[in-house]
């Protein structure tokens, strides 16, 4: 028999009446009513009410009990007089014959563990006392949900014939689009490991090594600024790769695995495969973003040509985007003014022009006086606008107008409550550009540098780099990037040429990616893969809007671990061991 318990706090019911049991858990509430003391005893499995007579023998012990202390209770199960239908053990209670304190809790807690007011507690305080916060039922269940999702993913990948293989954490630096976390070497002065931004090179090497299908729940490390949907420093993904596979093979895996997991853990409607496929260029034109939320019905249209030669200064020589909204009821002037303030203050837009179409198809309000009848007819034809529609215009340089229009579309969807409820909408964004212009005006990789260009070597040799497309793709769910992947460039000469266009020499490729470049000389199979983000998957299924709610020990908004107090300073001796001298200039 277990020393501390024979049953859990969620296990007892009316069938256990008259049994002698031993329970262990944390004190949730204490109600001392004079002659009797009632205790809500809580563990991971539920709550059981404990009853103890308050007499001369037990009085001092009862007084010493504090909420959140960990205790062991010996007692007899009896039927409750006042039953509680809100909990599974509500028909019974345990009359305690003995209570042993296993771990006493301080009298004053930094915050109430299961209070409805917990969300009002300062987040940094909750992170500092994360071990207490994890006792909160909602957060605790999120972490259990995460565990069950990981089990389901593993089972599904095993079922599909994938082999789980772990890849190194101490690796080399790789251009994955973010800063590396560097680890100095003690044995090799002046040299550094890098924590992997993704297991990219290793999983490709596994394909060269003859493995058919690989996967792992992979930790990835990127020195990026934190966001609500991006954990700072580290995150986990379901990383997988397949030999003798193309883009369609990867899509089949995503379309089988992801909906199955979502359907198992949610009551919401879940899109099933095949998912909607949207070319990158179309996504940017229609939604202003490469991760569109398809629950939002609003579409962006380009009306630049409609205003060619216009004398309206705000639109003159600009790219003009427009978003049509069907007004279910008359929108007040204040709504348009507030959207304009949002565009200026939050998006740094020059403004947000608008008009309404009244019941007689006349343009009214906003910039209506600057729009000719001919322009009106063309706009209504392009957008499908009709009576009782509203039109929002964004005018700026092309890429800026596109980006701002995307943000305005999202905000309009929220403020007008247009998003489809209780549904997960998936889409695959395909045909990403292989290259893009960096902030310095140089050619850089747009996505994954190890991707196969569409058109192969001919495209690399003859096309404008900014017009080359790649076999790269993202899986998007409800406006979040859920997975990224690509068909890999497995030809060494193609690899050299692709990197040369981005400013790398053959020597750079051989030095920085020597293992991969060398391996590609020895019979490399075509291969492709993807990596769904585990943290975001759990966040979406749990219906949370912040990743910190689904990670056991997250860092705060400034990338600090307030519980473990990391990052922290180290001793001079530790620095000497790894041959580092700090230069702490202000």
Angle, alpha carbons 265-23-552 (nearest 5°): 40
Long-range contacts of 303-310 (CB under 8 A, 24+ apart): 303/378, 303/379, 303/382, 303/383, 303/393, 306/375, 306/378, 306/379, 306/382, 307/375, 310/370, 310/375
The pair phi, psi for residue 501, each rounded to 5°, is: -60, -30
* pLDDT value, residue 172: 85
The answer to whether 336 and 366 have CB atoms below 8 angstroms apart is yes
Q: Are residues 546 and 486 in the same domain?
A: yes
CA-to-CA distance for 102 and 121, rounded, in angstroms? 28
Coil, helix or strand for 144? helix
From residue 383, give the alpha-carbon distance in Å to each of 120, 132, 315: 43, 53, 18
The pair phi, psi for residue 453, each rounded to 5°, is: -75, 140
pLDDT single digits (tens) 79-120: 999 999 999 999 999 999 999 999 999 989 999 987 666 668
Coil, helix or strand for 488? strand
Inside any domain, residue 1 = no
CA-to-CA distance for 536 and 557, rounded, in angstroms? 17
* pLDDT value, residue 227: 73
Q: Are residues 520 and 568 in the same domain?
A: yes
List the beta bridge partners of residue 356.
364, 390
Single out the residue in 48, 75, 103 at which a domain terminates: 103
Distance of CA 581 to the CA centre of its chain: 37
CATH number at residue 317: 3.30.1360.30
Domain that holds residue 324: 296-419
* pLDDT value, residue 435: 95
Inside any domain, residue 403 = yes
By C-alpha distance, which of 498, 442, 502, 505 is closest to 470?
Answer: 498
* pLDDT value, residue 329: 86
From residue 102, give the alpha-carbon distance in Å to each of 6, 23, 26, 72, 442: 16, 12, 10, 7, 64
Q: Are residues 252 and 313 in the same domain?
A: no
The pair phi, psi for residue 394, each rounded to 5°, is: -125, 125
The secondary structure of residue 346, as a DSSP letter, is T
* pLDDT value, residue 116: 63
Name 338's Cβ contacts closer than 8 Å, sequence gap at least 6: 415
Residue 107 CB neighbours (<10 A): 8
List the beta bridge partners of residue 52.
37
CATH number at residue 60: 2.40.50.140
* pLDDT value, residue 583: 84
Q: Are residues 392 and 455 in the same domain?
A: no
The pair phi, psi for residue 167, each rounded to 5°, is: -110, 160
From residue 514, give the alpha-carbon distance in Å to each of 241, 381, 428: 20, 56, 32
Q: Are residues 87 and 177 in the same domain?
A: no
Single out the residue in 45, 74, 103 at which a domain terminates: 103
pTM recorded for the entire structure? 0.93
The answer to whether 279 and 431 have CB atoms below 8 angstroms apart is yes
Alpha helix segments (H runs only) across 110-169 = 123-128, 130-133, 137-159
Structure tokens given for 505: 């020499």
Counting as low any pLDDT under 70, the low residues of the chain are: 1, 115-119, 174-177, 228, 585-586
Inside any domain, residue 70 = yes
* pLDDT value, residue 175: 60
Cis peptide bond upstream of 164, omega within 30: no
Q: Are residues 233 and 306 in the same domain?
A: no
CATH number at residue 556: 3.30.930.10
pLDDT single digits (tens) 153-166: 999 999 999 999 99
Strands of 384-479, DSSP E? 389-396, 423-424, 426-430, 435-437, 443-445, 472-477
Q: Are residues 94 and 155 in the same domain?
A: no
Q: Are residues 93 and 200 in the same domain?
A: no
Coil, helix or strand for 569? coil
Name 126's Cβ contacts closer than 8 Å, sequence gap at least 6: 111, 118, 133
**Residue found under tokens 């305080």:** 125
CA-to-CA distance for 394 and 109, rounded, in angstroms? 51
The secondary structure of residue 460, as a DSSP letter, is H
CA-to-CA distance for 237 and 227, rounded, in angstroms? 17
Domain count, the chain: 3
CA-to-CA distance for 515 and 538, rounded, in angstroms? 34
CA-to-CA distance for 404 and 395, rounded, in angstroms? 9
Coil, helix or strand for 147? helix
CA-to-CA distance for 54 and 71, rounded, in angstroms? 17
CA-to-CA distance for 291 and 479, rounded, in angstroms? 5
Structure tokens given for 556: 């705060």
CA-to-CA distance for 203 and 163, rounded, in angstroms? 12
List the beta bridge partners of residue 29.
40
By C-alpha distance, which of 96, 127, 91, 107 is closest to 24?
Answer: 96
Inside any domain, residue 283 = no
List the beta bridge partners of residue 185.
none
Q: Are residues 49 and 90 in the same domain?
A: yes
Structure tokens given for 473: 């793709």
Give 357-399 as a DSSP string.
E-TTS-EESTTGGGS-HHHHHHHHHHH---TTEEEEEEEESHH
Count of helices and strands (H, E) across the chain: 16, 24
Single out the residue in 419, 437, 463 at which a domain terminates: 419
Cα-Cα-Cα-Cα dihedral sign, residues 271, 277, 280, 283: negative
Q: Are residues 165 and 68 in the same domain?
A: no
Q: Are residues 405 and 477 in the same domain?
A: no
């Amino acid at each position: 028999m277990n020393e501390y318990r024979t049953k859990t706090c969620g296990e007892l019911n009316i069938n256990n009446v008259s049994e002698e049991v031993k329970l262990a858990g944390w004190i949730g509430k204490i109600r001392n009513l004079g002659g009797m003391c009632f205790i809500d005893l809580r563990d991971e499995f539920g709550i059981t009410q404990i009853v103890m007579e308050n007499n001369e023998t037990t009085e001092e012990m009862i007084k010493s009990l504090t909420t959140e202390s960990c205790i062991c209770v010996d007692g007899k199960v009896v039927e409750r007089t006042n039953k509680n239908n809100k909990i599974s053990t509500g028909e019974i209670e345990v009359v305690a014959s003995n209570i042993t304190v296993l771990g006493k809790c301080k009298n004053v807690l930094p915050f109430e563990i299961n209070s409805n007011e917990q969300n009002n507690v300062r987040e940094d305080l909750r992170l500092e006392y994360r071990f207490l916060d994890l006792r909160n039922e909602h957060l605790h269940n999120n972490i259990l949900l995460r565990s069950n999702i990981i089990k389901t993913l593993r089972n599904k990948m095993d079922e599909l014939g994938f082999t789980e293989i772990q890849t190194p954490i101490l690796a080399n630096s790789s251009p994955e689009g973010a800063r590396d976390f560097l680890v100095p070497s003690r044995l090799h002065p002046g040299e550094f490991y890098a924590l992997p931004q993704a297991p990219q090179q290793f999983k490709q090497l596994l394909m060269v090594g003859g493995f058919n299908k690989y996967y792992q729940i992979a930790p990835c490390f990127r020195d990026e600024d934190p966001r609500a949907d991006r954990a700072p420093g580290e995150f986990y993904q379901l990383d997988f790769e397949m030999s003798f596979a193309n883009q369609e093979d990867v899509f089949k895996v995503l379309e089988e695995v992801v909906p199955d997991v979502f359907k198992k853990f949610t009551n919401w409607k879940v899109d099933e495969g095949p998912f909607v496929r949207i070319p990158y260029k179309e996504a940017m034109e229609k939604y202003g973003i490469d991760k569109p939320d398809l629950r939002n019905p609003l579409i962006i249209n380009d009306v630049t040509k409609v205003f060619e030669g216009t004398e309206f200064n705000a639109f003159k020589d600009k790219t003009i985007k427009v978003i049509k909204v069907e007004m279910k009821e008359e929108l007040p002037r204040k709504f348009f003014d507030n959207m304009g303030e949002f565009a200026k203050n939050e998006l740094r837009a020059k403004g947000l022009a608008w008009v309404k179409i009244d019941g007689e198809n006349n343009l009214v309000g906003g910039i209506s006086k600057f729009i000719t009848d001919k322009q009106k007819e063309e706009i209504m034809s392009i957008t499908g606008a009709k009576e009782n529609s509203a039109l929002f215009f964004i005018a700026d340089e092309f890429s800026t107008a596109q980006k701002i229009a995307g943000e305005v579309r999202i905000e309009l969807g929220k403020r007008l409550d247009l998003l489809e409820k209780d549904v997960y909408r998936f889409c695959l964004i395909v045909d990403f550009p292989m290259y893009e212009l960096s902030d310095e005006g140089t050619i850089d990789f747009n996505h994954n540098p190890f991707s196969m260009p569409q058109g192969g070597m001919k495209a690399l040799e003859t096309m404008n780099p900014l017009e080359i497309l790649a076999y790269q793709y993202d899986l998007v769910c409800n406006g979040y990037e859920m997975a990224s992947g690509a068909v890999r460039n497995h030809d060494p000469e193609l690899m050299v040429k692709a990197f040369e266009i981005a400013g790398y020499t053959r020597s750079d490729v051989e030095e920085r990616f020597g293992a991969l470049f060398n391996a590609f000389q020895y019979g490399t199979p075509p291969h492709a893969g993807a990596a769904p983000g585990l943290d975001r998957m759990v966040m979406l299924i749990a219906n949370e809007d912040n990743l910190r709610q689904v990670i056991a020990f997250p860092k705060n908004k400034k990338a600090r671990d307030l519980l473990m107090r990391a990052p922290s300073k180290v001793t001079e001796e530790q620095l000497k061991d790894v041959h580092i001298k700090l230069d702490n200039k202000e």
